[in-house]
Amino acid sequence: MAARQRDGLRLFGLPPRAGERVAALWPGPLAGPDGRGTSGPCAAALVWQGDDAEVAAFLGAHPECRWLHTTAVGVPHAVLRHADATGLTVTNGAGTHGSAVAEHVLALLLAHFKGLPQTLAAQRERDWKVPVAAELRGRRTGVLGLGDIGRRTARLLDAFGARVRGCRRGAGGSPGSGFHVPGVSAVYGRERIDEFLTGLDVLVVAVPLTEETAGLVGDAELALLRPGAVLVNVGRGPVVDEAALVSALRTGRLAGAALDVFATEPLPASSPLWSEPGVLITPHSADATAETDQRCLELLLDNLARFGAGRPLRNVVDPARDY
């Protein structure tokens, strides 16, 4: 799979510093997403930020492309279908986002339990008002998805004294199966998701969006949580049924929600989530740190060097599993 001198490389949304590093490694011509820079074939594409439809259109127009790397963990369905049909190798950014996102989850949960939104509102009004606060310690907490983000989140929750259980895709992950995650007391396969959800005080959603996970958390699943529970979603928006979420908040089934991802992004101004009491919203920014960017760049450059030399790539995605 080694790159040849004449091979083109298509770039999507790379920041200038990353583009300069790529140019130093790549022997052939470079092109932006509009195609300017080369009119010939492209052997590979690097996606830092890019419109899904734009990337899919590029692949459709360039069947000769042999490798696509995205700094995201989730890969668009259209790209996966193309890879399955053509043999395109796809690699992703798994392992680069977990630290930042796990810290974000803890920040959101602590903000909720310590009443920080109310405290900040009181500060703006110069009102000396003591909030009603609670502790994370001892809370029955479930992490749905035990990839890099889920595992790192579980370790932080455990360090705060929460009682953590996890749920993963494979049926082998069940209590007593021997599948162990540090900080997690019990691991359930997704076929036992009802048992996993029952009685949780906190649910952290950290699964990628696939055909299996779309709408995974809806009315029935939210009804299994303990009354007054809190939901955090740092996976993908469509995993959680937003209408069901709003209903659970309004009926008191949920005391709050902290959301970094949404079914439609940017979140429309008309969404009731903006003004729903107890909801904390961040703009898909859980991993927006300089450290994440550096890890993404290091992985991208390492894979680019590997591709150029014909060596095995890191983080190869299985189109049949969607990640």
Question: What is the spatial distance between Cα 213 and Cα 238, in angstroms, rounded to a whole number?
Answer: 8
Q: Is residue 69 among the annotated active site residues?
A: no
254 near 228, Cβ under 8 Å? yes
Catalytic, out of 265, 291, 311, 321: 265
Catalytic, out of 192, 284, 306, 314: 284
φ/ψ of residue 232, rounded to 5: -120, 130
Nearest 5 degrees, angle CA 91-CA 236-CA 285? 85
Residue for token pair 């820079």: 37
Q: Is residue 152 among the annotated active site residues?
A: no
Q: Is residue 284 among the annotated active site residues?
A: yes
Catalytic, out of 112, 236, 253, 295: 236
Question: What is the spatial distance between Cα 301 and Cα 178, in angstroms, rounded to a whole number?
Answer: 36
Which residues 6+ apart lie within 8 Å of 304 measured at CB? 22, 25, 26, 44, 46, 69
Which residues 6+ apart lie within 8 Å of 28 measured at CB? 3, 4, 5, 6, 7, 8, 9, 38, 43
Measured CA to CA in angstroms, residue 120 lies from 129, 193, 279 at distances of: 10, 37, 15
Question: Which residues are known to be catalytic?
Answer: 236, 265, 284
